[in-house]
Amino acid sequence: MKKKNASLLLMLSLSLGVTACSANKEETQPTSSSASTGTAPAASSASATASPSADPAAKKLDISLFEGVWSAIPDPNGAGIQAINEKFNVNFKANLVPFDQGGQKMAVLMASGDMPDFVGLGGADPSYLKWAKQGAFLPLNDYIDKYPVLQLIPKTAWDSVTVDGNIYAIPRFFTTKYRNVPIIRKDWLDKLNLQMPTTYEELLNVAKAFTFNDPDGNGKDDTYGFVMANGLDNEMAMGSGFYSDTWSMKNDKGQYLPGIITDASKQRIQFLRDAFKAGVVPKDWPVLTYKDNRTTFYSGKAGIYYDGTPGNKGLFDQLLKADPNAVVETIPPFKAPDGSQALPGLSGWYQMYSLNGKLKNDPDKVDRILSMINYFATFIPPEQQNENNPDFDWKNGGVGKGYTMENGVADYPEASLSLRPKSYLEIAEWAPSDEALQVEKKAINPIQKAYAEKSVKLWSTPGMTYINPVFSIHSDLYDTKFWELNTKLIDEQTKMIVGNTSMDNWDKMVQDFLKNGGQDVIDEVNQKMQEAGAEPVYK
Amino acid sequence: MYRKSLSEKTFDGSIILLLVLTSLLMLFPFYYMIVISFSSYDDYMRHGVMLWPKQWVLDAYRSIFESRAFVRSIGSTVFVTVAGTLVDLIMTSSMAYALSRDIPGRKFFNMMVVFTFLFGGGMIPTYLIIKSTGLIDTYWALIVPGCISAFNLIIIRQFFRGIPNELNDAALIDGASEVKIFVLIVLPLSKPVLAAFSLFYAVGHWNTFFDAILYLNDSTKWTLQVVLRQLVILGNVSDTLHQSPEARMTQLEHQTPPETIGMAAVLVATIPILLLYPFLQKHFAKGVMLGSIKG
């Protein structure tokens, strides 16, 4: 009896598995072949026939989204999503999961043919390129002209998501400036009569003074010069030339090198080694995380940390509580061995949306999705971000409900997450420029406000922002192999900093890196840069 | 009467001391969590490590129990744990009993069980099966696929084999069917082993994490561990993986809930399952040992 049932069940499950696999194959096959032959004309003709129809918005459409998100997950039936359903006449299903699980679930959904109508992706990574080449996504070349916000997206961003001439994703805005760079307690400098450091030697002296000369004046030996964390993510990189992921120095063959093996990085590691020896950083830094570190800095126990602009209000509130007289400033970049003196810029976009390739015969749905994206990504200037702007008010669920206004600045309580339509389609609005964001105006906390104003001014200096040439290329070796090798380099450098190995090992470390595949990465990256005409740019 | 010599006494004493220290070492993190969860966030920020709360406050507990997602997820987890453990025990013990009897094809099925021990289907095929059996977005997706663990099955089977055959024969002569023998004779004799494995299964279900994310699209059905993770880990940068600076900045922008709330949530999520241990412990050691030795 039992046996029979068990074998029946087994056969059933096996056969289901087989049918599911074969069904999946049938579904993906035609899509991939049509994508490679001629989807673009087909799609454009389809949209042409659809546009004259009376009112395409009249039909209620089911639209599904899958995305891994950084923020908390809103209630799937919250008031926010109902507002979206009404406004766009859709039945919107947003399947949101925590960001670090998103990639894995996405892979399962894609492999099992279960891709929703559109998906949020982290970037143009190897899996995106693979899926795009297999025809999983809808080419958007013929659609994007119709949506005003998409016109604001710069060509470099479109280039990054283009595969074989087809645009398969809509990049989302991110600043080019305001990356996290070293920041310092200016009030401590003033109190100890020190100048803003301009070289690593001066920086070491400042760090020593911050540690041993009681900068907070409480009579206790309880401060650190600076804080650093495991993984050595660009610790104390005082300018774009010192960063491990920038390409700006050349070798004798004229090839650009990744920062992590250059003399600039060697200088930086030497400094960290000296600093560790001098005892100006927490002894247990190799097991500390960034979260530990920012707690240390923002509770007034460390003099140097690194953060973006305008930073996080909650953290500045902590600092205000710990020391009301604190002054925080960005450290201006040092002159690097390559002659540059700049802050490292960002790529200008982060995360993106891709549409399901099967939608090519459903132009109404494509239009509806893109209209939603267009609406949510439409920039609302900072001075209008209040209850008087109907779009702002709607996106955030209504004043007094989804958000509150305090001294002209909106605050978004965690408790009303599900009331804000924005929580379900969290797109950064495409700003015409970084300055248009006026990040400094949004700060209420006085320490944060002063910091942001100064920092924005520094970033706005012409030529201050270094644009990494690898932003404009796709290199398989760089995307995969380089980061493997990078981990080894970081391990070696960590050993040097804590004094386990001598700095004389530097050359051997670089040689090992080049021998184990590093040179191949450098060759490929340089070749692709040449093809794309990409060079380091200082904006 | 035998009296211990001085050296024996010091030896015993030092062992006791060592054990006490070791257990303190293990209890301290728990104790620390309790202290922090009852402290105010300001005190935590200002003092860091504390051995006693400067001031007892219930803010952290209030805020997690006010969170609908958290309370709802406790309900989900309790349901999955109770229902799942029941289903697991029924399925595992009945199959184990069948395989412990001399039935034709027993070897074949034993081989099949051992096969799943060595080779798994992988995530995507499993997902496809769950999808095509219509289990997506139901709690059954968390219960059915793992309801028979090959390892547990083998141990329970060995235990059943250890029950004297004479009992069976006697029951058969009295006219009992196999089902009756199983329910009325074998199961009552197997309480220790069932208790041990219900603990194994229950802990497994209580800790359901990735399956919930993978199979449940409706986040209101998510289990405690998923919600807990959001409270504790969100905003912690994983330093082993390469991340773009944009990703890192976005992550740092999203502030984690205060540590006090994280600690309270961890305690609330751990204590219920921890409470099972003392009740099942006496069966636990016995059950595991019996199954393995008599095999």
Q: Write out the DSSP string of A114-166.
A: ---SEEEESSS-HHHHHHHHTT-B---TTTGGG-GGGGGS-HHHHHHHEETTE
Query: A145 near A460, Cβ under 8 Å?
Result: no
Chain B partners of A322 at a C-beta cutoff of 8 Å? 45-46
Return the pLDDT at B284.
66
In angstroms, the CA A331 to CA A236 distance is: 10
Q: Please report which confidence band the pLDDT of residue B287 belongs to, taking 50, 70 and 90 as the band edges.
A: low
CB contact under 8 A, A108 and B133: no
List, as ranges, residues 151-190 from A with C-beta within 8 Å of B: 174, 179-180
Domain A42-176+347-437 indexed as CATH 3.40.640.10: no
Average pLDDT, chain A: 87
Among chain B residues, CA nearest to A98: B230
Question: Distance (Å, rounded) from C-alpha A519 to C-alpha A528?
Answer: 14
Say if the Cβ atoms of B213 and A98 lie within 8 Å: yes
Mean pLDDT of A41-66: 61
pLDDT at residue A21 is higher than 80: no
**B8-30 mean pLDDT:** 93
pLDDT of residue A86: 95
Mean pLDDT computed over B120-132: 90
- Average of pLDDT values for A129-142? 94
| Confidence band for A143, pLDDT divided at 50, 70 and 90 | very high
**Which residues on chain B are in Cβ contact (under 8 Å) with A350?**
244, 246-247, 250
For residues A394 and A390, give the distance between their C-alpha atoms in angstroms, rounded to a whole number: 6
Task: Determine, for residues B131 and A114 on separate chains, whether the beta-carbon distance falls below 8 Å.
Answer: yes
| Residue in A13, A101, A347 closest to B246 by CB | A347
Q: How far apart are CA A241 and CA A250, in angstroms?
A: 12
Query: With an 8 Å Cβ cutoff, is A2 touching chain B?
Result: yes
Would you say A451 and A310 are in contact if contact means Cβ atoms under 8 Å apart?
yes
Shortest CB distance from A308 goes to which of B98, B242, B249?
Answer: B249
Query: Based on the number of CB atoms within 10 Å of its own CB, is A424 exposed (0-12), middle (13-18) or buried (19 or more)?
Result: buried
CATH 3.40.190.10 applies to domain A181-344+446-538: yes
Taking residue A503's Cβ as centre, other Cβ atoms within 10 Å add up to 13
Q: CATH classification of B61-293, choosing from 1.25.40.80, 1.20.140.10, 3.40.50.970, 1.10.3720.10? A: 1.10.3720.10
Q: Does A523 have pLDDT greater than 90?
A: yes
| pLDDT of amino acid B255 | 67
- What digits encode the pLDDT tens for the residues B60-70? 888 888 888 88
- Per-residue model confidence (pLDDT) at position B254: 74
pLDDT per residue as tens digits for the range A407-457: 888 888 888 889 999 999 989 999 999 999 998 888 889 999 999 999 999
Q: Is the pLDDT of residue A7 over 70?
A: no
pLDDT (average), residues A270-287: 93
A20 touches chain B (CB under 8 A): yes
Is A486 close to B131, i.e. CB distance below 8 A?
A: no
CB pairs under 8 A between A and B: 136
Dihedral, CA of residue B45, residue B47, residue B50 and residue B53, to nearest 10: -70
Mutate which: B44, B45, B153, B239, vs A, most A CBs within 10 A: B239
At residue A33 the predicted structure's pLDDT band, cuts being 50, 70 and 90, is very low
Q: Which of residues 357-416 of A touch B (CB under 8 A)?
A: none
Strand order in the sheet with A90-98: A90-98, A61-69, A118-121, A349-355, A170-173
Query: Which residues are CB-neighbours of B222 under 8 A, at least 6 positions away?
Result: B69, B73, B76, B212, B213, B216
- Mean pLDDT lowest for which of A36-45, A443-452, A483-492, B89-98? A36-45
A185-191: list long-range contacts, CB under 8 Å, 24+ apart.
Answer: A185/A210, A185/A215, A185/A303, A185/A304, A185/A326, A185/A327, A185/A328, A186/A327, A186/A328, A186/A329, A187/A323, A187/A325, A187/A326, A187/A327, A188/A215, A188/A216, A188/A303, A190/A327, A191/A215, A191/A217
Q: Residue A57: what pLDDT?
A: 66
Minimal-distance CA residue of chain B relative to A348? B246
Q: Do B132 and A16 touch (CB under 8 A)?
A: yes
Pairwise CA distance, residues B109 & B91, whole Å: 15
Which among B46, B228, B249 is the top mutation candidate for probing chain A, defined by the most A β-carbons within 10 Å of its own β-carbon?
B249
Q: For residue B113, which of B89, B148, B162 has the smallest C-alpha distance?
A: B148
Is the pLDDT reported for residue A34 higher than 90?
A: no
Task: Report how far apart, in Å, the C-alpha atoms of A223 and of each of A185, A244, A254, A450 are.
Answer: 12, 28, 45, 23
Lowest pLDDT segment from A180-184, A368-372, A390-394, B267-271: B267-271
Q: What is the mean pLDDT of residues B228-251?
A: 70
Mean pLDDT of the residues in chain B: 85
Q: How far apart are CA A30 and CA A44, in angstroms?
A: 18
User: What separation, in Å, do the N-terminal and C-terminal C-alpha atoms of chain B show?
Assistant: 42
CA distance A127 to chain B (A): 15
* pLDDT higher than threshold 70 for residue B125: yes
Does position B292 have pLDDT exceeding 80, yes or no? Answer: no
pLDDT, mean of residues A34-45: 37
At B211-231, the pLDDT tens digits run 999 999 988 899 999 888 877
Among chain A residues, the shortest Cα distance to B219 is held by A76
Q: Which of B63, B129, B252, B254 is most worth mutating to test chain A (most A CB atoms within 10 A of its CB)?
A: B252
Determine the pLDDT at residue A5: 53
pLDDT tens column, B153-184? 998 998 898 888 888 889 989 988 989 999 99
Contacts of B128 in chain A (CB under 8 A): 17, 20-21, 24, 112
Strands A465-467 and A349-355, bridge-based pairing: unpaired
Per-residue pLDDT at A30? 37
- Each residue of A505-516: pLDDT tens digit? 999 999 999 999
In this prediction, residues B235-246 reach a mean pLDDT of 62
The Cα–Cα gap between A261 and A513 comes to 9
Mean pLDDT of B127-151: 92
Considering the entire predicted model, what is its pTM? 0.82
- Record the tokens describing residue B233, joined without a space: 């880990």
pLDDT greater than 70 at residue A52: no
Per-residue model confidence as pLDDT tens digits over A336-392: 998 999 999 999 999 999 999 999 999 999 999 999 999 999 999 998 999 999 999
**3-state helix/strand/coil string of A42-106:** HHHHHHHHHCCCCCHHHCCEEEEEEEEECCCCCCCCCHHHHHHHHHHCEEEEEEEEEHHHHHHHH
Sequence ranges of chain A with CATH classification 3.40.190.10:
42-176+347-437, 181-344+446-538
Give CA–CA dist B14/B156, Å, rounded.
Answer: 40
> Would you kindly state where each structural domain of chain B is located, as residue ranges?
6-57, 61-293
Name the percent of chain B lying above pLDDT 70: 91
Nearest residue to A442 via CA among A401, A494, A385: A385
Contact A105 B213 (CB under 8 A): yes
State how far the Cα of A12 lies from the Cα of A25, in Å rounded to an integer. Answer: 20
Nearest CA in chain B to A484: B242
Confidence of residue A255 (pLDDT cuts 50, 70, 90): very high
Give percent of chain A above pLDDT 70: 89
From the CA of B18, how many Å to the nearest CA of chain A? 27
ipTM above 0.90, yes or no: no
* Strands, E assignment, A157-230: 162-163, 166-167, 170-173, 181-185, 224-226
